[in-house]
Amino acid sequence: MRKVRILVVDDDKRNVVLLTSKLQADGYETDTAYDGLEAIKKAESFNPDLMLLDVMMPKIDGHEVCR
């Protein structure tokens, strides 16, 4: 069975490290992005089941990424 894929998106690298460490320990497959533009590119290639998005990020905010 395929692992659930989660894309973690935050411009604060400490948050990304904390979240990905916990998620991977719980058996999830993760990928990361550090701004909205990178999140959109990663979502297209990684095809996540879920995205954890920071709302306030440089370039494109989390709301715009969702649109």
Residue 42: count of CB within 10 angstroms of its CB? 19
Q: Which residues pair with 53 in a beta bridge?
A: 9
- Identify which of 18, 2, 25, 27 has the alpha carbon closest to the alpha carbon of residue 52: 18
Give residue-wise pLDDT tens across range 12-65. 999 999 999 999 999 999 999 999 999 999 999 999 999 999 999 888 999 999
Quick one: which H or E segment has residue 36?
Answer: helix 36-46
Quick one: which H or E segment has residue 31?
Answer: strand 29-33
The model's pTM: 0.93
